[in-house]
Amino acid sequence: MTGTINLKLDINGRSRELAVEPRVTLLDALREHLDLTGTKKGCDQGQCGACTVHVDGKRVLACLTLAAQVEGRAITTIEGLADGDGGLHPVQSAFLEHDAFQCGYCTPGQIMSAVACIREGHTKSDNEIREYMSGNLCRCGAYSHIVAAVREAAEAAS
């Protein structure tokens, strides 16, 4: 009954086929089956935001999403953010410019969350940025630089 199921996932504009157990999360499918290791596994329980990806343009947690659930949806990971010519996404550039990370482990999730946060328009003040970025923990404590990077990228986008 349980065995494996065949899935066709739309990831970063490409169709990817894989055979996985039904319990496999989108996070494990990306990292363990599709070699897309940019999306990070932190707590694996929905508490840290390191696994943030976009599904149909909305930021979600890949660790609490079954791969099977998002068949037919458009998935974007950190690998799909930059343009095809290798240029960085403006939010990636802002993170570099503001030194918005230390160890870097939470950074892909922070950036995916920040891109969505800016798109949602939740960047009207530093307090609003902090509130709407609160689902992404940074244990190095680079928060003040992260807020600065998001603020600048939001201003540049408006």
Partner 1 sequence: MKNFSYLRAHSADEARKAAALAGNMVLAGGTTLLDLAKCGIAEPDTVVDITHLAGLDGIEVDETQASIGALARMSAVADHPAIQKAFPAVAESLALAASAQIRNMATIGGNLLQRTRCSYFRDAAVFPACNKRHPGSGCSALGGVTRNHAVLGTSDACIAGYPGDLAVALVAFDAIVHLGERQVAVDDFFQLPGNTPDREHAFERGEIITAVTIPASAAARRSTYIKVRDRQSYEFAAASAAVGLELEADGTTVRDIRIALGGVATKPWRARTVEAALIGKVLEPELVRKASLLVMEGAIDHGANHYKIDLAPRVITRAVLKMGGLA
The position carrying tokens 């079954």 is: 66
Q: Cβ 84 to partner 1, closest distance in Å?
A: 27
109 contact partners, CB below 8 Å, separation of at least 6: 39, 40, 42, 48, 49, 50, 51, 52, 136
State how far the Cα of 19 lies from the Cα of 151, in Å rounded to an integer.
41
Give me 29's structure tokens: 């499918």
10 Å CB burial of residue 68 (0-12, 13-18, 19+) is middle
Site residue total, partner 1 (CB under 8 A): 35
Regarding 59 and contact with partner 1 (CB under 8 A), the answer is: yes
Task: Determine which residue in the list 10, 16, 22, 143 makes contact with partner 1, applying CB under 8 A.
Answer: 22
Rg (CA), the chain: 16
DSSP 117-153: HHHHT--SSHHHHHHHTTTS--TT--HHHHHHHHHHH
Minimum distance from CB of 8 to partner 1 (Å)? 13
Residue 65 touching partner 1 (CB under 8 A): yes
116 token code pair: 């969505």
Contact between 1 and partner 1 by CB under 8 A: the answer reads yes
Q: Shortest distance, CB of residue 63 to partner 1, whole angstroms?
A: 8
Nearer to partner 1, 99 or 134 (CB): 134
If one asks whether residue 61 binds partner 1 (CB under 8 A), the answer comes out as: yes
Shortest reach from residue 154's CB to partner 1, in Å: 15
- Shortest CB 125 distance to partner 1, Å: 14
Residues that bind partner 1 (CB under 8 A): 1-2, 5, 21-23, 25, 44-46, 49, 52, 58-61, 63-66, 68-69, 72, 113, 116-117, 120, 122, 130-136
